[in-house]
Chain A
Amino acid sequence: MNEGEYFIGKTSATDRSSNTSDKFSFWLGDGVIVNPFDIVEVDQIGRDGKSKTYGLVTILEHWTDSPNHLANYISSNFGELTEIPNTPRQGTTVAHANVLSNTADIYMPVPSEKLVRFATPEGIHEALGIKDMAEKERIPAGLIKMSNGNACVVYLDRRYLLGPVSAHLNITGISGLATKTSYAMFLIQALLQKATDEERKKIAVILLNVKHGNLMQIDQEPDVQPDAKQMELWEALGLQPGKFDNVHYFVPRGPDGQANCYIEPNTPTVYAYDFRSTADKLDLLFADVPDTYSTIESIISEIREGVLTNEREFQDVSSWTNLLDGPPINDPNRRGDWRNIKSTSLGVFRRHMRRMVKTRQSGIFVESLSRGEKPLGETLAKTLEGGNVYVVDIAKLYDHEQMLVFGDLLRTVYRLKSEDLPERRGKPVPDKIIIFVDELNKYAPSGHQVSPLTQNVIDIAERGRSLGVVLISCQQFMSQAHERVTGNCATKVIGRSAAAELQEKAYNFLDKELKFNIGRLVSGELIISHPVYRQPVKIIFPKPTYRVKEF
C-alpha cells in the first residue's frame, strides 16, 4: 500500500475553527471517500513516544474559496448554465470528527497538519474500548463497515446488557425501516449462541408477539435460505444462522375457545383469564382509564383484598358475571355507599369492566377455565426454565387485554426473581430472564401520570439489573416512552427516525451532526450507543434466519 492510499487527509485547525479535546477536523485528499461514522486515527504526542487519537466522523462539508453563492453565479459567466470553467474553483471536503479515545489517555487537541488514516479493525476495537472487554463478555452486536471497505465486528459487553453493571436495551426507529424486531431477535440469538452451555441453561427468554405472526415461527426453518452475502455476514460475526430451539408458544383464547392468533404454532398453550386468577391484576386493565380521584383504584383494591383474603362478601364471586351483576359491587338491596365508595362510582367501574371483559373482549376472559386453558402468569411461574424461549402472542388482543397480559408477565417474572417462589416449582429460577416487547410506549408512555402497568415497567427498568431481569424494548418514538424506562436502558439502538423526533429531549445524548445521519439510515443499518463505547457507532446486521411470514 503506498502512502497516498494509506493516508486520507490532514488535520486542520484555523483561526475560526479550532481542534479541541473533543473534536478535530481534517481535509480530504482528492478522490478520497469518507462517510459519517467512519473511524479514523491520527498520530498524537505521547509520554513515551507516539500515541494515537481515534475519531468518529460526524459530518463532512465541502468548502470553496467562493465567499457567497452570488460569486459562483457570476463565476459561471453570470448564470450561463453551459459555461465550463477553465479552472475549477478551488475547494476541499472537510470532515469533522468526535474524539473517541487516545491510546495513552492524552486528550490534548490534535495539532494541525497531522496525517489522517482509516482506523484498522484492531484500531476500531481500541477506539471503542472493545479491546479491554474480556473475551467471554463479548456479544457480537453487528458489523461496522468503513468507506475503505474495512469491516469490523463490534461487541456489546454482556455485563452492561444483562447486568450487573447495567442492563436493558431499547431500540427506536420508524416502522418498517428501522428493523427493530429483527435486530432484537438477532441480538438474543447472538447472546444465546455466545453463552456457554451452562450459562444458556440459566437464561430464559420471553418474547411478546405484538404484530401479526412475526415471532410465531421462530423455531421453523426459513422458506428461503440466507444468500451468500448474508452468510458472509453471519460468518464475519462468528455466529451460526439458524432458528431458535426450545421454543414454547402461549396463544390467547379466542371467542369460541380456539387459539386466537394469526399463525397457530405447533402445540401452543392457550391462555385465558377467569375472574379468580385475575382479581389481583384488575388494575392492569385500567391503565388507560382516567382515575383522577383514585376512585377506581380504591374499588380495585377492595376487590383484590376481598378475593385474596376470602372475605365473606366475595365468597360467592367466582366469575366476571358474579362480579358485575351481583353483590357486593352491584347489590340492589344496598342503600348508600359501599365501603365509603359511592354507588355512582361503582357504576362507572362496572361500565368499564363490562366493556373490557364482556362486550369488547377478544375471548380471553372466561367465566371459568377449561382443561386446555391456562392462566398465563401462574403457568409461567411454574414452568419458566432456563434454556427456553417463551413466545407470548398478544397480536390479536385489544389494547387493555395486551396491557393485562404484559403486566401479568412482568409481575410474574418480578415475583419469581424477587420473592414468591411457587411451592410446587421443582426447578431453579433462571439466573437471567430476558423480556422482549415492542411498542413500549403503549405500556410505559411518557408523561407524569404513571399507571400501575407503567410502574411495573419502571420497576423492571430500575431494579431488573440487580434481579437478573432484562428488558429489551422497542418503539417508534423514544420520546413517547417513559424516560425512566428508556433512561435506564444502558444500551440504545436507533434506526431511521424523523428529524422532528430526533429534536426531542430523549435524543440529547446524540450530537447534532449525528442526528442528521440518522434520517438517512437504510433498512438494516442501526446506530448503537453502548456504555463501553465513547461514541455511538453505525452497524449492519444479518436478516433473521427463522421463518417470517410477510403480511
Chain B
Amino acid sequence: MANPLKQISPTFDALNRHLKVLPATGGASEELVRPDQEEIDDALINRSINRVTEFAESPTPNIDRIYRSTPPLFRAENHLFRFFIDGSFRTYFLGTGVEVGRSFPIMLAQIGAAVIHRNDHGALSVIHNERQLLLLLPGQGNGVSDTVWHQLERIERPGYFRIVNYELPDPLSEDKKDARDKAGGKVRAEMHELEAKLINRTDGQRDKDKWLILDGATKFDRFIQAPYLIGVAKAFSKQPEFRFGGIKDKRDVTSILAGLPHYHRTVAFSAYDGRVAFWYVRLREQRQVDYPLMGVVKVELPTPDKKPVDAELLDLISRALVAERSVCPYGLDKRWHCCIYPIHMAEQVIKNSFFSNEVIMGAIKWQQSQGGFHE
C-alpha cells in the first residue's frame, strides 16, 4: 500500500533543509490528552464567569426554588434532537527544531469534526465529516524565521494539510507557558473552529423541532450564535459562584448540584452579559453513580438577543436531554454517565477517519544520523 501521507513530504523536506531537527526518540510520538482536559478547557473558556448573579429564564425563578422536574421525553413523543456534532484530535511531538540559536517543538496534529443525523427511527448517519492535518510551528519571536515560514507556505500541499502558528493567541493556548502545551491548546482551538464550520453547514436544516447538540461549550473565541443549538458539557468548571442577594447567599456549583434530584434541571443562569443561558441537568440517579456530580451535564444555550428564555423551552430541552441517557457508552467512555450516545458515535466516526498512529509514525521519521527525516 502506498504511503497515504506522501503529499505532505515536500513540506517536511523543506523543514529538514532549513532547520536542524532533533528528532523525538523513536520518531513521532503521540501526546496523550489529560483526563480532565475538557474541564480545564471549560474553565479557560468561561473564566470570565466566575460569579453568576443573574437568571436567564422567564418567569424569573425564585432563588429558593432552583430545581425543576424534567422527566424524560423520548424520541417517540418528541424527537427534538436530530443533529449531533463532536470534534476530536490527536497530537504528535515530532522533534525540536533549531534555527540560529532558537529552539522550539515541532508538532503535528490530526483534528476532525463530524455531524451525525438521527432519523425518526433512531438510525444514525454521518452527514458531515472533515479531517485536517496540522503542522504546528511557532511563528513569532523565538520561532521559525519569516524566511523559512514563507518558504514553507509556498510549497504545494493537499487541502487537508495546514501549517499553523501556535504562537497566535486563542483562549486555550494564550496562557500556556510551555511551548508544547501551547501547541496542544492551539490544536483544540483549531478543532473548535472546525466544529463551528460544520455547524454552519447544518443551517437551514435545524428548526424549532430539529435541534443540534454540540459537545462542549457554545462560547469559544467567539460565540456560536446559531439558533436551535445547545452545547452539552460532560465535564465543566467548578469555579463559578452563584450569588443572588447578600454575600451570605453565596453558593458554589458543587452545593447546587449535590441537591439536584434526578430528572431535574437547575434554573437557567445568565452569563456573558446575557448572551448565554446555562443550566445543569441530572441524567442519572445519584445511587447509580459513584459521586454526586456524576450523571450531571452542563447545558448552554446561545441567547444573542440577551432575553431570558421561556422556562417551558428549557424544560423541553432538558426533558429531551434526559431521554438521551439510553443507550450509553458504559465501558467505552469513562464519562458514560453523562455521555450522549450519538455524540460518542460522532467521536468514533472522527477517530476512525484519522490516520492510524502507525501511519503517522511510519510516514514521518527523522533520520537521526543526518539530523533530518525521511519517509
Q: Does A71 contact B (CB under 8 A)?
A: yes
Expressed in whole angstroms, the Cα–Cα distance for A328 and B336 within the complex equals 94
Q: Does A75 contact B (CB under 8 A)?
A: yes
Contacts of B325 in A (CB 8 A): 77, 86
Contacts of A74 in B (CB 8 A): 288, 328, 330, 336
Expressed in whole angstroms, the Cα–Cα distance for A429 and B329 within the complex equals 76
Expressed in whole angstroms, the Cα–Cα distance for A67 and B327 within the complex equals 13
Q: Does B155 contact A (CB under 8 A)?
A: no
Q: Is the CB of A90 within 8 A of B323?
A: no
Expressed in whole angstroms, the Cα–Cα distance for A350 and B268 within the complex equals 106
Q: Is the CB of A84 within 8 A of B324?
A: no
Cβ 8 A contact of A67, one of B75, B124, B332 = B332
Q: Does A78 contact B (CB under 8 A)?
A: yes
Q: Is the CB of B328 within 8 A of A75?
A: yes
Cβ 8 A contact of B341, one of A77, A83, A84, A87 = A87
- Distance in angstroms from B327 CB to nearest chain A CB is 4
Cβ 8 A contact of B288, one of A66, A78, A85, A87 = A78
Expressed in whole angstroms, the Cα–Cα distance for A89 and B285 within the complex equals 22
Q: Is the CB of B330 within 8 A of A71?
A: yes
Q: Does A70 contact B (CB under 8 A)?
A: yes
Q: Does A68 contact B (CB under 8 A)?
A: yes
Q: Does A426 contact B (CB under 8 A)?
A: no
Cβ 8 A contact of B326, one of A67, A77, A90 = A77
Contacts of B324 in A (CB 8 A): 86-87
Interface centre among A67, A85, A86 (most CB of B within 10 A): A86
Q: How many residues of B contact A (CB 8 A)?
A: 24
Q: Does B348 contact A (CB under 8 A)?
A: yes
Expressed in whole angstroms, the Cα–Cα distance for A330 and B58 within the complex equals 120
In the complex, residue of chain A having the shortest beta-carbon distance to the beta carbon of B326: A85
Q: Does A88 contact B (CB under 8 A)?
A: yes
Q: Does B76 contact A (CB under 8 A)?
A: yes
In the complex, residue of chain B having the shortest beta-carbon distance to the beta carbon of A66: B331
Q: Is the CB of B74 within 8 A of A84?
A: yes
Q: Is the CB of B327 within 8 A of A75?
A: yes
Q: Is the CB of B331 within 8 A of A71?
A: yes
Q: Is the CB of B331 within 8 A of A67?
A: yes
- Distance in angstroms from A63 CB to nearest chain B CB is 14
Q: Is the CB of B75 within 8 A of A86?
A: yes
Q: Mark B328-342, 1 if CB is under 8 A from A, else 0.
A: 111110001000011
Expressed in whole angstroms, the Cα–Cα distance for A402 and B287 within the complex equals 75
Contacts of A72 in B (CB 8 A): 327
Contacts of B323 in A (CB 8 A): 86
Q: Is the CB of A68 within 8 A of B326?
A: no
Q: Is the CB of A70 within 8 A of B331?
A: yes
Q: Does B345 contact A (CB under 8 A)?
A: yes
B residues 315-362 near A (Cβ < 8 Å) are 323-332, 336, 341-342, 345, 348
Q: Does A65 contact B (CB under 8 A)?
A: yes
Q: Mark A45-73, 1 if CB is under 8 A from B, else 0.
A: 00000000000000000000111101110
Q: Does B2 contact A (CB under 8 A)?
A: no
Q: Does A76 contact B (CB under 8 A)?
A: yes
- Distance in angstroms from B160 CB to nearest chain A CB is 20
Q: Is the CB of A89 within 8 A of B331?
A: no
Q: Does B122 contact A (CB under 8 A)?
A: yes
Q: Does B247 contact A (CB under 8 A)?
A: no
Contacts of A88 in B (CB 8 A): 122-123, 327
Judged by DSSP, the binding face of B is: loop
Q: Does B157 contact A (CB under 8 A)?
A: no
Q: A65-B332, A65-B348, A67-B332 are in contact. Are A89 and B327 (CB under 8 A)?
A: yes
Expressed in whole angstroms, the Cα–Cα distance for A85 and B325 within the complex equals 8
Contacts of B20 in A (CB 8 A): none
Interface centre among B323, B331, B332 (most CB of A within 10 A): B331
In the complex, residue of chain A having the shortest beta-carbon distance to the beta carbon of B287: A78
- Distance in angstroms from A87 CB to nearest chain B CB is 5
- Distance in angstroms from B328 CB to nearest chain A CB is 5
- Distance in angstroms from B107 CB to nearest chain A CB is 27
Q: Is the CB of A85 within 8 A of B327?
A: yes
- Distance in angstroms from A438 CB to nearest chain B CB is 53
Contacts of A78 in B (CB 8 A): 285, 288
Contacts of A75 in B (CB 8 A): 326-328, 330
Expressed in whole angstroms, the Cα–Cα distance for A405 and B65 within the complex equals 98
Expressed in whole angstroms, the Cα–Cα distance for A76 and B72 within the complex equals 13
In the complex, residue of chain A having the shortest beta-carbon distance to the beta carbon of B340: A87
Interface centre among B285, B288, B327, B330 (most CB of A within 10 A): B327
Expressed in whole angstroms, the Cα–Cα distance for A78 and B289 within the complex equals 11
Cβ 8 A contact of B122, one of A30, A65, A77, A86 = A86
- Distance in angstroms from B169 CB to nearest chain A CB is 38
Q: A65-B348, A87-B122 are in contact. Are A70 and B330 (CB under 8 A)?
A: yes
Interface centre among B118, B324, B329 (most CB of A within 10 A): B329
Q: Is the CB of B348 within 8 A of A86?
A: no
Q: A75-B326, A84-B74, A85-B326 are in contact. Are A90 and B345 (CB under 8 A)?
A: yes
B residues 64-86 near A (Cβ < 8 Å) are 74-76
Expressed in whole angstroms, the Cα–Cα distance for A74 and B330 within the complex equals 7
B residues 230-247 near A (Cβ < 8 Å) are none
A residues 177-218 near B (Cβ < 8 Å) are none
Cβ 8 A contact of B331, one of A30, A68, A90 = A68
- Distance in angstroms from B296 CB to nearest chain A CB is 16
Q: Mark B103-131, 1 if CB is under 8 A from A, else 0.
A: 00000000000000010001110000000
Interface centre among B288, B326, B342 (most CB of A within 10 A): B326
Contacts of A30 in B (CB 8 A): 123
Expressed in whole angstroms, the Cα–Cα distance for A83 and B122 within the complex equals 14
Expressed in whole angstroms, the Cα–Cα distance for A495 and B278 within the complex equals 67
B residues 135-193 near A (Cβ < 8 Å) are none
- Distance in angstroms from B358 CB to nearest chain A CB is 10
Q: Is the CB of A87 within 8 A of B331?
A: no
In the complex, residue of chain A having the shortest beta-carbon distance to the beta carbon of B76: A84
Contacts of A71 in B (CB 8 A): 328-332
Contacts of A87 in B (CB 8 A): 75, 118, 122, 124, 324, 326-327, 341-342, 345
- Given A74-B336, A85-B326, 7 more pairs with CB closer than 8 A: A65-B348, A66-B327, A71-B330, A75-B327, A87-B122, A87-B324, A87-B345
Q: Provide 10 A-B residue pairs closer than 8 Å at the C-beta atoms, listed in order of the A residue.
A: A65-B329, A67-B330, A74-B330, A83-B326, A84-B74, A85-B122, A85-B327, A87-B122, A87-B327, A89-B327
Closest A-B pairs by Cβ, 10 of them: A67-B331, A75-B327, A85-B326, A71-B330, A71-B331, A74-B330, A85-B327, A89-B327, A87-B341, A86-B75
Chain B residues packing against A (C-beta within 8 Å):
74-76, 118, 122-124, 285, 288, 323-332, 336, 341-342, 345, 348
